[in-house]
């Protein structure tokens, strides 16, 4: 049930431009296990399946964990698609502020936990932050319904989704495909889809699967041989992503596409700043308290 709930949180995060499912995996303490499990979905596992060694193959990819998590991710996406769009369109400042607080807290926890940090760790942190800042500062592309472009978007977006701090949904927004894909997901959920839309989603999903398996192997290798540097870079990614979580924005729809714009000055009141501050502080305190509870529970066991 806990893995299912973690999956629900990841699925919900993956529908929000600015929040990464990978960030949620870090917050809930399953990131390295997830990367390891996905990286084992390779030729060796396929060979085991072809030889009829189903139980061994299932165990090698941590199948129970992945199935529980995947069910949660699907449930999270299905349940949050409409809710998330509502929150972003009507309560974006408070929503983004709360997530920013969660991310700040998680970065402090992760980086503080690294033992024997040297100059390299801090340099990696800064480089990761600069890279993420640059990515979220890119201009939005026009997008295209072309199947090849949709496939590439799936590959790129899923790589971003598994990286803490780099939002796959935000990457889709930059690539001009966010509204295009999210609308088709909503139609499937509401049973109002057609063959063309299902084909598009299948192409996008194929890109996601291929990108996820390939990129997870690289991440697993990095975490194994360059753990401190990798974690430092991931922390930097999370810090750099805070640029797109600046709360004083509003989501608008122009020409059928979702976009973020600065909140009009007359709408930025002292009351709004107060609400934003409370939401950010609540997110920060929540993640720190959960971390303290987790450490206390681990020490008792």
pLDDT in tens, 194-220: 888 888 889 988 888 888 888 888 888
Q: Annotate 226-267 with DSSP letters as a single string.
A: SHHHHHHHHHHHHHHGGGGG-SSEEEEEETTEEEEEEPPGGG
Going by the DSSP 8-state scheme, the letter that residue 41 receives in this structure is -
Mean pLDDT of 243-257: 76
Query: And the tokens for 72?
Result: 């949660």
Q: What angle do CA 96, 21, 11 make, to 5 degrees?
A: 90
Query: And the tokens for 281?
Result: 């502080």
Whether 142 shows a pLDDT value over 70: the answer reads no
Whether 244 shows a pLDDT value over 60: the answer reads yes
What's the pLDDT score for residue 110?
76
Cβ pair 87, 80 in contact under 8 A: no
What's the pLDDT score for residue 281?
93
What's the pLDDT score for residue 273?
94
What's the pLDDT score for residue 100?
84
- For the chain, the average pLDDT equals 80
Residues belonging to the chain: 301
Long-range contact set of residues 261-264: C-beta below 8 Å, sequence gap at least 24: 263/93
Phi then psi for residue 259, to 5 deg, are -155, 155
């Amino acid at each position: 049930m806990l893995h299912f709930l973690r999956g629900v949180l990841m699925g919900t995060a993956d529908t929000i431009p600015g929040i990464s499912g990978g960030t949620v995996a870090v917050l809930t303490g399953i990131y390295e296990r997830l990367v390891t499990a996905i990286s084992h979905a390779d030729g060796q596992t396929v060979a085991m399946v072809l030889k009829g060694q189903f139980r061994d193959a299932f165990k090698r990819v941590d199948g129970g964990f992945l199935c529980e998590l995947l069910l949660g991710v699907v449930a999270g996406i299905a349940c949050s698609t409409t809710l998330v769009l509502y929150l972003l369109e009507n309560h974006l400042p408070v929503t983004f502020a709360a997530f920013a607080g969660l991310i700040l807290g998680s970065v402090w926890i992760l980086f503080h936990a690294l033992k024997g940090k040297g100059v390299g760790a801090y340099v990696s942190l800064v480089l990761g932050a600069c890279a993420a800042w640059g990515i979220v500062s890119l201009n939005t592309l026009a997008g295209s319904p072309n199947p090849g472009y949709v496939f590439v978007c799936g590959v790129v977006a899923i790589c971003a989704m598994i990286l803490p701090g780099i939002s796959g949904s935000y990457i889709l927004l930059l690539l001009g495909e966010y509204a295009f894909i999210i609308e088709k997901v909503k139609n499937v959920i509401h049973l109002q889809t057609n063959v063309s839309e299902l084909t598009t989603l299948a192409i996008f999903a194929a890109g996601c699967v291929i990108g996820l398996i390939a990129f997870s192997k690289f991440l697993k290798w990095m975490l194994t041989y360059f753990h401190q540097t990798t974690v430092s870079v991931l922390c930097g990614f999370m810090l750099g992503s805070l640029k797109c979580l600046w709360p004083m924005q509003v989501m608008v729809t122009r020409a059928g596409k979702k976009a973020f714009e600065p909140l009009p000055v007359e709408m930025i009141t002292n009351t709004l700043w107060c609400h934003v501050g409370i939401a950010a502080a609540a997110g920060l305190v929540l993640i720190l308290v959960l971390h303290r509870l987790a450490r206390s529970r681990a020490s008792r066991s």
